[in-house]
Structure 1
Amino acid sequence: MPFHPIISFLHIKLEGQKAKTSSPLGLKVMHEFMNKEHILMDNSVGHKSRLMVRDQDSREVVYSTCGPFNTQHNPLCHQDDSFALLHFTQSISIIKSVSISVDPSAYPKVASWNASSSDCCLWDGVTCDDNTCRVISLDLSSSFLSGFINTSNTLFRLVHLQTLNLAGNYFNKSQIPSAIGLLSRLTYLNLSNTEFTGQIPLEFSNLTKLNSLDLSRNYFLEILKPGLASLVQNLTDLKQLHLSQVNISSPVHVLANFSSLTSLLLENCQLQGEFSACIFKLPNLQFLSVQYNTNLSGYLPGFFRRSPLKELRLAGTNFSGEMPNSIRYLESLNHLDISYCNFSGSMLSSISNLSQLLHLELSGNNFSAGSISSWIGNLTQLERLYMRSTQLTGRILSWLMNLTQLTLLDLSENNFSARSSRLGLVILHILKDCA
């Protein structure tokens, strides 16, 4: 087997004793082991690559494929990054009792970090660039972290970071430091469910390479002064923008020009004014939710053919008007929730074309009274159907028998015949027992 060209660090473990070497002797031993062809690739830790070489006596060589081969001592992790990570751990604590993570797989990743090892590229949650050995990804989500992060925190010295995930930890209602703007190479940032509070700093506008930004479920976080337009105007490459439960308290017209968006979640953000109809027509948008913004008004526009929308959630808003016939073009839609809005007119049979629908909620609108149409029976993939208080009359059984995948059904507060109402209640209980 030829000598591997990208080895930069050698860790030899012989009979329980550890030694580090980049000496000619070490290289000779390594070469001999490799010629024995007892080689295993270990990719079990994220994107890291460790090569373990064993001889017939189970002796083991472990090295990482980071950086070019070099005969001088060349630790895998850049010392500046190692220093920054270790000092970051000194600013926070691991306290399981105060963690707000709901992730059942949560565990304290930094607990395994060891200052005696210079190879931070092999630390849990850390990923390094294969060529430069700089830390480019840090995933400490759901790690039971607790503490304050301020502008001087060494976390912001990791200027080569491309992805940062601190979701599901508890940062003691501290503010997001303005130093976040120093991480200008970030393409992915997730600070959701972290108990950050206060105004989001304007320095977010420096993160021009962001594809994904998630600040959701931080109930005391605000985007007020400056507003949303000032913060995101430079983030035109965004594909995912998740700000649910963040206080925005303004219109979001600026997002109508974000043609790369695939997911926009703005639930319970105290949005105001009229929602731009152009956002519905963004060419790549698959997931849109603005539900539970009671002061947000708007209407459903005419949709284009082959719209990519998969989920549309408008529940608990002030959207109004009639359902457009063009809703039939949302052929990829699997979740539609327009409950407790102010939609009116008749429920269109065009919805029957949405053959991928699994979840349909129409409850609490001002639809005109009428018998429930047979078109509901065409939605044979439905698993959940909520049509409470929708002025429905007539009989239930004829169309319900087609919905063999249903697990949840709510047709209460309608005007079905007495026999149909009793039958509906029996069916509802059966469905709940099967769920």
Structure 2
Amino acid sequence: MMHSLPELKILILRSNRFHGAIRSPEFNFAFPKLRIIDISFNGFIGSLPSEFFQSLNAMKIVESDHLEYMQAQMSYDVKGFVYPDKYEYSMTLTNKGLRTQYTKIIEFFVVIDFSCNRFEGAIPESIGTLKGLHMLNFSNNKLTGHIPSSMGNLTTLESLDFSLNKLTGEIPQQLAQLTFLAVFNVSYNNFIGSIPRGNQFDTFLSTSFEGNLGLCGNQLSRKCEGPIGSLPFPSPTKDDQNLASLIEFGWKSVLMGYGCGLVIGVFIGHIVFTKKHDWFVKTFGMKGQRKKRSRGRND
């Protein structure tokens, strides 16, 4: 039972065939010392229970001055003599998009990696209470809803990856307060509005935001117009402008041709009618007289 592991600090179950949903813990303080959890590349499903993240109390503490390494105290017996020893933890994680091996792990290092599963639903607001987080990766899932504005409280966060989900809404302006954020990726979601400006956000490349057709900002070719948060209206490209010019020219040509044709037709008709006036009179006049004579005789 997981609640019987109160000393657990690191849990790495990456790249297995685990599946099913993560349930809320039966106890409020199920993982009091857990600081690193990596369950990426599995088949977990369901929503992310808010109570689970609320139970991660060790992740709520910011200890940037604590430079000791994670280790386990051990001892061994040789012919009745007990010798103390220690075991230092090591691990391999995906940090800032790179596979990184850690031969030693700093005590205050805090990581959550739930990437490459099938989680769905909203990101819990309780994530914002984990102020000790350095890395958070929920990429390549089926998450929906908004990014909680409470994540602006994660002031030690260095890497945040929400790419390849179905998240919507605007990117919270509060994330611009995360001055340690070196990696940010929300590509291929359904975000809209303007990208936050200032601090680290001015350093992120367009690849961090690609695949969100409703986003606009300096990092993208779509510049924002109107009030902040409004839907962007992409500026017309050169091809669009050329096409519009051709259409406009075509309509003008049609109208000019129609107008000129009408004027010329009237002018020619007037000349013909003037020159042939006698012919019209003689022809239609004689016909008119013949008709009158015929009527007279019949009477």
* TM-score normalised to structure 1 length: 0.36
Indicate which of 27, 33, 38 corresponds to 1:214: 38
**Could you say which residue in structure 2 is the equivalent of 1:231?**
52
Query: For residues 171 and 235 of structure 2, what CA distance do their matches in structure 1 show?
Result: 21
**Could you say which residue in structure 2 is the equivalent of 1:247?**
118
**Could you say which residue in structure 2 is the equivalent of 1:261?**
133
Give, as a single letter, the amino acid of the residue that structure 1 aligns with 2:54.
Answer: Q
Offset of residue 236 of structure 1 = 2.8
What do residues 311-363 of structure 1 show as CA deviations (whole Å, max 9, x unaligned)?
1111111111112332x444775795111114444x42xx6xxxxxxxxxx4x
Offset of residue 222 of structure 1 = 2.5
Offset of residue 189 of structure 1 = 0.8
Query: For residues 21 and 119 of structure 2, what CA distance do their matches in structure 1 show?
Result: 10
Query: For residues 203 and 35 of structure 2, what CA distance do their matches in structure 1 show?
Result: 23
Give, as a single letter, the amino acid of the residue that structure 2 aligns with 1:180.
Answer: M
Indicate which of 206, 211, 230 corresponds to 1:340: 211
**Could you say which residue in structure 2 is the equivalent of 1:181?**
3
Change (3 A) 1:261 1:337: same
Give, as a single letter, the amino acid of the residue that structure 1 aligns with 2:38.
Answer: D
Query: For residues 343 and 337 of structure 1, what CA distance do their matches in structure 2 show?
Result: 14
Aligned ranges for residues 361-372 of structure 1 at < 5 Å? 362=220, 367=223
Offset of residue 182 of structure 1 = 2.5
- Counterpart check, 1:312 vs 2:133: no
- Counterpart check, 1:194 vs 2:66: no
RMSD (Å), alpha carbons:
3.3
**Could you say which residue in structure 1 is the equivalent of 2:73?**
none
Query: For residues 212 and 335 of structure 1, what CA distance do their matches in structure 2 show?
Result: 30
Change (3 A) 1:393 1:296: closer
Question: Does the CA-based 8 Å contact 1:191-1:214 persist in structure 2?
Answer: yes
**Could you say which residue in structure 1 is the equivalent of 2:169?**
297
Gaps of 5+ in 1: 1-178, 352-361, 370-389, 395-413, 418-435
**Could you say which residue in structure 1 is the equivalent of 2:144?**
272
**Could you say which residue in structure 1 is the equivalent of 2:285?**
none
Question: Does the CA-based 8 Å contact 1:228-1:248 persist in structure 2?
Answer: no
Question: Does the CA-based 8 Å contact 1:266-1:289 persist in structure 2?
Answer: yes
Q: Percent identity?
A: 17
**Could you say which residue in structure 1 is the equivalent of 2:259?**
none
Give, as a single letter, the amino acid of the residue that structure 1 aligns with 2:30.
Answer: N
Change (3 A) 1:281 1:392: farther
Query: For residues 115 and 163 of structure 2, what CA distance do their matches in structure 1 show?
Result: 9
Aligned ranges for residues 37-48 of structure 1 at < 5 Å? none
**Could you say which residue in structure 1 is the equivalent of 2:154?**
282
Question: Does the CA-based 8 Å contact 1:342-1:366 persist in structure 2?
Answer: no
Change (3 A) 1:392 1:242: farther
SS at match of 2:211: coil
Give, as a single letter, the amino acid of the residue that structure 2 aligns with 1:298.
Answer: E
Aligned ranges for residues 98-109 of structure 1 at < 5 Å? none
**Could you say which residue in structure 2 is the equivalent of 1:427?**
none
Change (3 A) 1:367 1:249: same
Give, as a single letter, the amino acid of the residue that structure 2 aligns with 1:255.
Answer: I
Query: For residues 209 and 223 of structure 1, what CA distance do their matches in structure 2 show?
Result: 25
- Quick check: which has more Rg, 1 or 2? 2
Offset of residue 199 of structure 1 = 2.2
What do residues 219-249 of structure 1 show as CA deviations (whole Å, max 9, x unaligned)?
x21244xx42122211032321111123332
Aligned ranges for residues 136-175 of structure 1 at < 5 Å? none
Question: Does the CA-based 8 Å contact 2:119-2:143 persist in structure 1?
Answer: yes
Change (3 A) 1:237 1:296: farther
Question: Does the CA-based 8 Å contact 1:309-1:333 persist in structure 2?
Answer: no
SS at match of 1:237: helix
**Could you say which residue in structure 1 is the equivalent of 2:85?**
none
Offset of residue 250 of structure 1 = 2.2
Gaps of 5+ in 2: 60-109, 226-233, 243-299
Query: For residues 44 and 174 of structure 2, what CA distance do their matches in structure 1 show?
Result: 35
Change (3 A) 1:287 1:334: farther
Change (3 A) 1:255 1:302: closer
Query: For residues 187 and 135 of structure 2, what CA distance do their matches in structure 1 show?
Result: 17
Offset of residue 209 of structure 1 = 0.7
Change (3 A) 1:391 1:191: farther
* TM-score normalised to structure 2 length: 0.51
Higher relative contact order (CA 8 A, sep 6+): 2
Aligned ranges for residues 319-358 of structure 1 at < 5 Å? 319-326=191-198, 328-330=199-201, 337-345=208-216, 347-348=217-218
